[in-house]
Amino acid sequence: MVSKSEEDVKWTRYARAYDEVVGFFDAYHTLLDRVVAWLPRCGRCIDIGGGTGNVSIRLLEDDRVERILAVERNTAMIVRFCEKLAVRGASASGKVDIVQCDALDLCFPDGIFDSAIVVNVLHAVQDSRRCVREASRVLRPGATMVLSTSHQDTDVESLLEAIRSSLISSGHYHQLEDMFEVVAENNRAWAAHFTRDRVDDILRFVEESGFRIDAGPVPAYSGSVVVISAVKRRP
Ligand SMILES: C[S@@+](CC[C@H](N)C(=O)[O-])C[C@H]1O[C@@H](n2cnc3c(N)ncnc32)[C@H](O)[C@@H]1O
């Protein structure tokens, strides 16, 4: 078992490298497009494990939701997210709030959000079921959660190879080689202690947390994740 502070050191080291590298990974952008396309127009959306803000920012650009609240635990991720928002100016910053809190213990009352996005986070938290239960708790009945997650059959080496190929074909590999190595090294180290659930189990515990599966699972991110849309059942 890795302690929270050890995990935090890794995420801090990962923040910049991850952000720069995925920026040139086509399959990541395609994934974000799908996640956003599956989200209905609505008022308040919570981005759980928002990282450096890529999903929130894509949502912001799409103008699909009125307000976004991103929850993230790691300070370095949040700092980078804030820098990206600052570049986009006051209207972006005014629409997005970032709260430093644990996805396993969300610091919000029940039923206050109209939608949730959870992109590539379940493998990273210590209790994936609790993360989904917390998402369900803060959503109102009828709200949609779009979830992208790796799973037991995710092949980390194939994913890394796909990222490397994408960097090479876009001409960014040499410039980002060191960053890519940080991403690769962290993912290999994490593979040993992160739990990746079976897709069947993920679908089951999403349903047990009060959702009805609405779409998916469909593969994305070079076959490394599945994307699911789920609607919170009405009582
Ligand atoms: C692979 S990143 C994905 C970030 C973002 N969703 C994206 O698609 O770019 C996983 C994120 O989950 C965050 N995270 C891990 N455990 C967390 C927890 N218990 N509470 C909140 N965030 C957490 C990490 O700090 C990291 O930013």
Written as one string, the DSSP assignment of the chain is ---HHHHHHHHHHHHHHHHHHHTT-HHHHHHHHHHHHTSPSEEEEEEET-TTSHHHHHHHHHT-EEEEEEEE--HHHHHHHHHHHHHH-HHHHHHEEEEE--TTS-SS-TT-EEEEEEES-TTTSS-HHHHHHHHHHHEEEEEEEEEEE--TT--HHHHHHHHHHHHHHTT-HHHHHHHHHHHHHHHHHHHTT-----HHHHHHHHHHTTEEEEEEEEEETTTTEEEEEEEEPP-
Q: Is the CB of 209 under 6 A from ligand 1?
A: no
Report how far residue 216's alpha carbon sits from residue 129's, in angstroms, rounded to the nearest whole number. Answer: 18
For ligand 1, whether the C-beta of 159 sits within 6 Å is no
Contact 18, 52 (CB under 8 A): yes
d(CA 210, CA 233): 6
Per-residue pLDDT of the chain (235 residues; tens, 9 = 90+): 667 777 788 889 899 999 999 999 999 999 999 999 999 999 999 999 999 999 999 999 888 899 999 999 999 999 999 999 999 886 777 899 999 999 999 999 999 999 999 999 999 999 999 999 999 999 999 999 999 999 999 999 999 999 999 999 999 999 999 999 999 999 998 887 788 999 999 999 999 999 999 999 999 999 999 999 999 999 8
Question: Domain tally for the chain?
Answer: 1
pLDDT of residue 10: 85
Report whether residue 54 contacts ligand 1, using a CB cutoff of 6 Å.
Answer: yes
Question: 140 CA distance to ligand 1 centroid (A)?
Answer: 23
Residue 148 Cβ < 6 Å to ligand 1: no
Ligand 1 pocket, residue 162 CB under 6 Å = no
Q: Atom 14 in ligand 1: which residue has the minimum CA distance?
A: 49
Q: How far is CA 204 from the centre of its chain?
A: 20
**From the alpha carbon of 117, which atom of ligand 1 is closest?**
6
Domain that holds residue 39: 4-232
The pick from 55, 68, 108, 121 for probing ligand 1's pocket by mutation, whose C-beta has the most ligand atoms within 8 angstroms, reads 121
Q: Which residues, at least 6 apart from 83, have a Cβ–Cβ distance to it below 8 Å?
A: none
Mutate to test the pocket of ligand 1, among 55, 73, 104 (most ligand atoms within 8 A of CB): 73
What is the CATH number for 98? Answer: 3.40.50.150
Q: How far is the CA of 65 from the centre of ligand 1 (A)?
A: 21
State pTM to two decimals: 0.96
Residue among 34, 54, 22, 11 nearest 163 (CA): 22
pLDDT score of 2: 66
- Report d(CA 128, CA 199) in Å as an integer: 12
- Predicted confidence at residue 190, as pLDDT, reads 83
60 Cβ inside 6 Å of ligand 1: no
pLDDT for position 1: 60
Please state the atom number of ligand 1 nearest to the C-alpha of residue 22. Answer: 9
